[in-house]
Amino acid sequence: MAKVRDVMSKTLLTVSATLELDEAARRMNDRQVGAVLVLTNERLSGILTERDVLRAVATGQVTGTHVAAWMTHDPETIGPDDSTAHAASVMIHGGFRHLPVVDADRLPVGIVSIRDLMRVTVDDETPRGA
């Protein structure tokens, strides 16, 4: 069975909770990612997702707002040696599409998305658009 470390993204986009929300959204767009990890003193303190940004836009509260106001504080996490099946179970039961991967000291080492997990499950040999 595949481990989380085998499928997680290791190139992380991280931000501070004090960063303005519109700047965080710009960085997410530039990097084409659906979530950023929020760090405090190098440790994971939250996660900001595209859903969070959309909620802020829908309420008209983007300008002048900081990441801290919209992020999920102390999100659920998984370890790099956990199975991809366990990661999928945590995501399904929690209702989210991104899961931070941390080491024993809560230092982020990756992030796994539902798309990453689907690649393990679905053997996609069909070319895109075919």
Each residue's pLDDT tens digit, 90-114: 999 999 999 999 998 889 999 999 9
pLDDT for the residue 1? 78
- Residue 36 located in a structural domain: yes
The parent domain of residue 53 ranges over 11-80+98-110
Supply the pTM of this predicted model.
Answer: 0.89
- Residue 116 located in a structural domain: no
Longest dimension (CA), the chain: 47
Number of domains composing the chain: 1
Residue 129 pLDDT greater than 70, yes or no: no
- Residue 38 located in a structural domain: yes
Conformation bin of residue 74: beta by default, left when phi > 0, alpha when psi is -120 to 50: left
CATH number of the domain bearing residue 46: 3.10.580.10
